[in-house]
Amino acid sequence: METVERTVGAYEAKTKLPQLLEEVAKGEKIVITKHGVPVAMLVPYIKTKRPDPQEAVEALRKWQAEHRLSLGGLTIRELIEEGRR
């Protein structure tokens, strides 16, 4: 479905909000202007999947195992201690 974009003034948006929300729910994008200047856009809500924390931790551990820092033999602990001096 192709989305359509149209423009309405702030007063019209205020007075016709329920109708505008119905149009947005059908996929339309609506730009709201104030004195002819765009200030907001109503767009359809897209539900996103929240990442699983355990999957995020596993992905981070995998990344860490594949990417090592090149610190000239220094450890992270040594760098932290050096920064505290």
| CA pair distance 30, 5, nearest whole angstrom | 5
Residue 51 phi, psi dihedral angles, 5° rounding:
-65, 145
Q: What is the pTM of this model?
A: 0.54
Kindly state the average pLDDT of the residues 23-37.
Answer: 95
Query: Does the pLDDT value for residue 26 go beyond 80?
Result: yes
Domains and CATH numbers, the chain: 5-42 (3.40.1620), 53-84 (no CATH)
Q: How far is CA 54 from the centre of its chain?
A: 21
Share of the chain above pLDDT 70, in %: 91
Adjacent-strand bridge partners of 7: 31
| CA pair distance 74, 83, nearest whole angstrom | 13
Kindly state the average pLDDT of the residues 37-55.
Answer: 92
**What does DSSP say about strands 5-9 and 29-34: parallel, antiparallel, or unpaired?**
parallel
Q: What's the start-to-end Cα distance of the chain, in Å? A: 60
More confident residue, 17 or 49: 17
Kindly state the average pLDDT of the residues 15-38.
Answer: 95
Confidence class for position 71, pLDDT limits 50, 70, 90: low
Query: Does the pLDDT value for residue 4 go beyond 50?
Result: yes
